[in-house]
């Protein structure tokens, strides 16, 4: 059961960022387990259970990131991550696809929903789905922004079209995510954080369902080309 992070969680992550080497980590592994790994896994598990109860037909899958970097992708950054995340996604998704997520670092934390590995073909289908019912998508987009989620994702240098101020913020991106980002503290220290995350994901669920629609449509397009 999740009982909250502590200031020591932030302190550990700061120290790790300045001492990202195996001897230091091994000397502080007990601290890692106590102040970061155990509460992080508990948060992920508790949030997953709430979401699974709320959306039993979605067959949600949970992925919890490990602290160890992929040895093939170190690039001089050290063997350990200085932030951790977990994700939840529909059981129908194989590999990359739209997902809910939570991430914690030394200075801040964030949570939201996005489709990070979307291909150009998938984003083309996204725009096609928007064009099929722009009023519906504008309602979805407006609700997300009113709920306080920030849209992010690299934008095309040449816009793909003009669909109005609200829709354009989504339409002309190479990939799309939405997040709330906050300074370390506050909700992180509260045992109610799993419920806070589940409530936030529920606010994003209508948009997530739209993302699933274009994910499926893109998969169907791909099968037709085979």
Structure confidence by residue, pLDDT tens digits, 155-204: 999 989 899 999 999 999 999 999 999 999 999 999 999 999 999 999 99
- CB 80, CB 68: distance < 8 Å: yes
Backbone phi, then psi, for 109, in 5-degree steps?
Answer: -150, 160
The candidate with the shortest Cα–Cα distance to 81, out of 46, 117, 36, 50, is 36
Q: How confident is the model at residue 10 (pLDDT cuts 50, 70, 90)?
A: very high
Q: What pTM was estimated for this model as a whole?
A: 0.93
pLDDT of 105 reads 97
Q: Does residue 116 carry a pLDDT above 90? A: no
Instruction: Specify the pLDDT at position 117.
Output: 84
d(C-alpha 100, C-alpha 86), whole Å: 8
């Amino acid at each position: 059961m999740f009982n909250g992070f502590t200031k020591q969680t932030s302190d550990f992550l700061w120290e790790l960022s300045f001492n990202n080497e195996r001897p230091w980590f091994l000397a502080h592994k007990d601290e890692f387990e106590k102040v970061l790994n155990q509460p992080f896994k508990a948060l992920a598990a508790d949030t997953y259970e709430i979401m699974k109860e709320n959306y039993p037909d979605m067959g949600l899958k949970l992925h919890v990131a490990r602290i160890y970097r992929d040895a093939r992708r170190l690039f001089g950054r050290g063997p350990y991550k200085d932030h951790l995340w977990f994700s939840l996604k529909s059981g129908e998704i194989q590999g990359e696809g739209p997902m809910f997520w939570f991430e914690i670092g030394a200075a801040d934390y964030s949570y939201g929903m996005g489709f990070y590995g979307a291909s150009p073909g998938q984003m083309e289908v996204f725009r096609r789905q928007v064009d099929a019912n722009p009023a519906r998508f504008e309602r979805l987009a407006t609700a997300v922004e009113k709920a306080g989620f920030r849209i992010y994702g690299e934008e095309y240098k040449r816009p793909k079209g003009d669909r109005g101020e609200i829709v354009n913020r989504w339409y002309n991106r190479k990939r799309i995510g939405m997040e709330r980002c906050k300074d370390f503290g506050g909700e992180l220290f509260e045992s109610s954080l799993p419920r806070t995350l589940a409530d936030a994901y529920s606010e994003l669920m209508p948009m997530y369902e739209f993302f699933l629609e274009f994910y499926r449509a893109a998969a169907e397009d791909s099968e037709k080309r085979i």
